[in-house]
Structure 1
Amino acid sequence: MVNLPQLTLPDHAPVLSVVIDATPSADGRNAVVLDRWADLQRSVMLDGAEAVPRVDADAIAAALERPTWVHGPHGRVLIAADGEVLLDRVIPDPPTAGEAVLSDHPHALALAYAADAAARYLVVESDRAGAHLSLHEASAVMGSQLLHDREIDGDHDVLTKVRPSRDLPRDRANNRAEDSWERNAETVAAEVDRVMAQEDPDLVLLTGDVRSTAYVEEALGTHARQVLVDVPGGARTEGVNSRAFVAAVDEAVTGFRMRRRQAVLDHVEQEIGRAGAAVSGLEDVVDVLRRGQVAELVLDAGAVSSPRQRIAAHRLWIGEAPLQLGMSAQQLADLGVGEPRQVRADLALGRAAMDQAAGITIAEQLDVADGIAAVLRWTDAATPAETAFTQSGDSQRAHASAHAEEPSL
């Protein structure tokens, strides 16, 4: 499950959500990003608001003036309210088309992009005396953000093997040194396990002296070993870290993101294939969202980004409460909602998903009806039934999926 960022919102203030291409120009200048923001302000989606507050537009512009220092194409997600930027995250891939939404809550799909890019990882740079531990948050502006770091030194100081002598035979000298390495590694592993319990990072990246890393890995607890990745090229000695090591860390973090996303897709495929705890297609997903059953909302990337915005092309009806949503005004009337209004489907879906603390995953190839599925917390007799897909990969279900309603003018 990919958890959405948690934000503390000001009372009675609209929320501006922005997803933008943050790639600088070829000469590295950031002015092109500010130009994109100026263009994007002309097409802000106003959900129940009349205009973007100037303080919020200026806050976004001020944030975008600060470069990300990320090389190559990338995007940026920003959330602002009451003149303050509440979230500013880099995403690996720039959006096909930027988007800005002003609403009474953050745009859930913007949060989903930020959550997909995020990863918290602990770097353990080990030597025979101890280790340097540093906790990082990926996807932060200015590169990964260092959250905490500290030096860990063991109590055992016989670190080198010595020449044998009459007073200290070779085997005894070597055993004393290796025993010190092992005891110091146990001290490091205990600190790693403590950080795991308190901070719960997604990854532990272990690097440094080959002998010491082997001892550290052996002494780690089960949780740390489950998320451990050996990364070559790092060292505890200051100034030794190379570009190759930084690239290896980036590769490990990217691999984790891909595995996390694939695990969600595999779960969806398994549950739909056996008619289990998942549904697909807009109409069925709306049904289970309304009933508060959704653990994870899964969207095909092509269904939420231009030029194939299949989800945004639909309109749903909503009431004041986030779980008051339906395919038609009559559905809400049947629920006792007096004055429903029609909004873009992606806004209504995200609003309902956030209200029930559901995760949101945006996948590259989700081959289901309407490009949308949901993994469920629970099922009952009223849960929509799924049928298996054909071997040809046809994503149409046995019962027809909902068709997009034309937006009312």
Structure 2
Amino acid sequence: MHFQWLTEQLPSDEVLATVVMDASRDTESGDRTVAARWSELRRSLDSQGLSKEMAAVLEEQALQPTRASGSHGRLIVAGESGILMDRLLLFAPRKDEAVLSIGPDVFALAREADDTVRYLLAEIDRTGADVTLYDSTSGAVGGEPHRESVDGEHDVLNKIRGGGLSHRRIESRVEDSWERNAETVASELDRIVLERRPDLLVVTGDVRAVALVQGALGAPAREITEHVPGGARNNGVNGAFETRVDEALEAFRVRRRGGTIDRFRQELGRNAMAVTGTNRVLDALRKAQVEELLISDEVAGPVSSLADVKVWVGDKPLELSMHRDEIRQLSSGDARARRADLALGTAAAVQDAGITIVYHDDDVLTDGIGALLRWDPSKPSGVVEPG
């Protein structure tokens, strides 16, 4: 799962504080509970050397309500210049954590990317559609989804009872109006899909109009379309429909992870373009060979099961090893110890590797970590032969 859309918002060479916390406020004491959670995180950051200025900015942000209901988490990243990111997390974390490091906690960003499905919701009737672009987690705290309406120019919309030539002509004009309006909606959806690159296009509304729109969509939009019945234009809050959308989004997340895991199993079985285990993954990261890093839920954290494991790093993110002497050979600077989860995440990010979190198939991962490779190390040229 690629997450450059998150990492590109953050500097990789500055000291940043990454906070992952339970932001749920569902009880009468919700504000006090969140404040108590923040106090624990503040003490942790103070012990790591957080500046008073950054602490004040973070505290003000962390104590602001998210306006989200139900159990949920929050990811906040801050630097000396202020708050750089504040996003909702679909699920409250098992444990709160705050990390001060050079660059962000990449595994925290990867979990946010794994939760997030950018989807375009089209609520369609025979005159047009209301179109909304969402992040499934509601995106940035306080942010609003992008909305627009699309209306066709054809207004002969209702069939009449009766018979005869006049009746058939009117029916033909009505059908033609439906089709022309559907083509207008489909053309606009095609444009938005190409420009905004959502993961899913969710269509709902009038059954006949939805079918006409789906039939008129271009291939890129049609390939990501999911029909979720029960929604309508101007229908207000519809809990049953929202539940169906949530189910469609979760099914997409499962498919997205599953495709990567299946490919990993296949390559591992062929002893080809996949490796597993800390040492082999470190070696692949060091060579900028990783296309996709796979980590178990426990490794992803918070708190990562690798947090207490130390690796040695040099001046550059890809200078990393389990052995200090190896770093002395690789780097012109001093070797220093770093948390393994932070070092591995940073190395993945700088080589534009994706990260997939493995929830139920982690038996395939040694040490809870594996990697799909960009090229086959068994080939002398370092490239994959065609075919």
Q: Same fold (TM over 0.5)?
A: yes
Structure 1 residues 188-197 or 250-259, which shifts more? 250-259
1:271 equivalent in structure 2: 267
Structure 1 residues 62-71 or 92-101, which shifts more? 62-71
Offset of residue 32 of structure 1:
1.0
Distance 1:376 1:142 in 2: 32
Q: Contact 2:107/2:301 (CA < 8 Å) preserved in 1?
A: no
Offset of residue 273 of structure 1:
1.6
Distance 1:126 1:157 in 2: 15
How big is each residue's C-alpha offset from its partner over 1:245-291, in whole Å with a ceiling of 9 and x where there is no partner? 22222222222222222222222112112212111000000000000
Distance 1:208 1:352 in 2: 45
Distance 2:131 2:267 in 1: 40
Offset of residue 241 of structure 1:
4.1
1:312 equivalent in structure 2: 307
Which ranges of structure 1 fall in alignment gaps of 5 or more residues? 384-409
Task: Show the 5 A alignment for 1:299-338.
Answer: 299-305=295-301, 309-338=304-333
1:172 equivalent in structure 2: 169
1:199 partnered with 2:200: no
Q: Contact 1:234/1:242 (CA < 8 Å) preserved in 2?
A: yes
Q: Contact 2:299/2:341 (CA < 8 Å) preserved in 1?
A: no
Give the 3 Å change call, closer, same or farther, for CA 154–212 of structure 1 in structure 2: same
Structure 1 residues 179-188 or 250-259, which shifts more? 250-259
Offset of residue 45 of structure 1:
9.1
1:298 partnered with 2:294: yes
1:347 equivalent in structure 2: 342
Q: Contact 2:312/2:322 (CA < 8 Å) preserved in 1?
A: yes
Distance 1:276 1:41 in 2: 46
Q: Contact 1:123/1:134 (CA < 8 Å) preserved in 2?
A: yes
Give the 3 Å change call, closer, same or farther, for CA 297–342 of structure 1 in structure 2: same
Q: Contact 2:12/2:104 (CA < 8 Å) preserved in 1?
A: no
Distance 2:270 2:164 in 1: 73
2:220 equivalent in structure 1: 223
Q: Contact 1:59/1:83 (CA < 8 Å) preserved in 2?
A: no
* Matched residue type, 1:321: K
How big is each residue's C-alpha offset from its partner over 1:136-190, in whole Å with a ceiling of 9 and x where there is no partner? 122236889544222111122110112346661x332212211110111011001
Distance 2:307 2:118 in 1: 31
Given the two structures, how large is their TM-score scaled by the length of structure 1? 0.85
2:25 equivalent in structure 1: 24
How big is each residue's C-alpha offset from its partner over 1:48-86, in whole Å with a ceiling of 9 and x where there is no partner? xx6112232222222222323333322211111125221
Give the 3 Å change call, closer, same or farther, for CA 144–374 of structure 1 in structure 2: farther
Structure 1 residues 275-284 or 12-21, which shifts more? 12-21
Distance 2:372 2:326 in 1: 23
Distance 1:332 1:360 in 2: 25
* Matched residue type, 2:154: H
2:107 equivalent in structure 1: 109
Offset of residue 115 of structure 1:
0.9
Give the 3 Å change call, closer, same or farther, for CA 304–161 of structure 1 in structure 2: closer
Task: Show the 5 A alignment for 1:371-382.
Answer: 371-381=368-378
Give the 3 Å change call, closer, same or farther, for CA 38–316 of structure 1 in structure 2: same
1:390 equivalent in structure 2: none
1:402 equivalent in structure 2: none
1:137 equivalent in structure 2: 135
Counterpart among 47, 54, 73 of residue 56 in structure 1: 54
2:384 equivalent in structure 1: none
1:15 equivalent in structure 2: 16
Q: Contact 1:234/1:241 (CA < 8 Å) preserved in 2?
A: no
Distance 1:117 1:379 in 2: 30
Distance 1:223 1:87 in 2: 31
Counterpart among 39, 58, 67 of residue 69 in structure 1: 67
Offset of residue 12 of structure 1:
6.9
1:389 equivalent in structure 2: none
1:364 partnered with 2:365: no
Distance 1:35 1:140 in 2: 25
Q: Contact 1:138/1:144 (CA < 8 Å) preserved in 2?
A: no
Distance 1:280 1:10 in 2: 29
* Matched residue type, 1:357: D
Offset of residue 313 of structure 1:
2.7
Distance 2:139 2:220 in 1: 29
Offset of residue 37 of structure 1:
1.3
Offset of residue 22 of structure 1:
1.6
Counterpart among 207, 211, 215 of residue 214 in structure 1: 211
Q: Contact 1:137/1:145 (CA < 8 Å) preserved in 2?
A: no
Distance 1:129 1:14 in 2: 53
* Matched residue type, 2:43: R
* Matched residue type, 2:342: L
Structure 1 residues 147-156 or 173-182, which shifts more? 147-156
1:190 equivalent in structure 2: 187
Between Structure 1 and Structure 2, which shows a larger proportion of helix residues?
A: 2
Given the two structures, how large is their TM-score scaled by the length of structure 2? 0.90
2:383 equivalent in structure 1: none
Offset of residue 14 of structure 1:
1.5
Percent of residue pairs identical: 40
Q: Aligned-residue CA RMSD in angstroms?
A: 2.4
Q: How many residues are treated as equivalent by the alignment?
A: 377
Corresponding residue SS for 2:243: helix
Which ranges of structure 2 fall in alignment gaps of 5 or more residues? 381-387
